[in-house]
Amino acid sequence: MQQSSGLENGPDPAHIGGMKEPKREDIDKQGGWLVRVRTPPSLDRLFYVYELDWVKARELVKAKVPVDDGEIIEAVGPANVHALMGNGMKPGDVFQHG
């Protein structure tokens, strides 16, 4: 016998609006980085990293993305909170862009 969580509302899952939406004042704030993993001579992979500190962001990429010797991890530029949360990310996440 399964016990109900109390959140059931029919065939579709319950939705609590606004939980993934940034506050208006936070939309343009930097929340992380757009990072390129470059495989010479010309293969690039892009990732969003939800971490403000570049050193920690680079380590997150190394931990969560297969990066081989000879590949280069570089910051393309800052990523704002809107772009990160719009992809359903939370702090510490790495998400492949594109």
Residue 12 located in a structural domain: no
Higher-confidence position of 26 and 82: 82
Residue 10 located in a structural domain: no
pLDDT at residue 98, rounded to an integer: 77
Q: What is the pLDDT averaged over residues 62-91?
A: 93
Q: Which domain holds residue 41?
A: 25-97
| Closest C-alpha to 79, from 25, 31, 17, 10 | 31
Residue 15 located in a structural domain: no
Strand partners, 48: 34, 95
Distance CA 39, CA 35 (A): 13
Residue 3 located in a structural domain: no
Name the domain count of the chain: 1
pLDDT at residue 48, rounded to an integer: 97
Q: Does residue 78 surpass a pLDDT of 70?
A: yes
Q: Does residue 4 surpass a pLDDT of 50?
A: no
Residue 32 located in a structural domain: yes
Residue 1 located in a structural domain: no
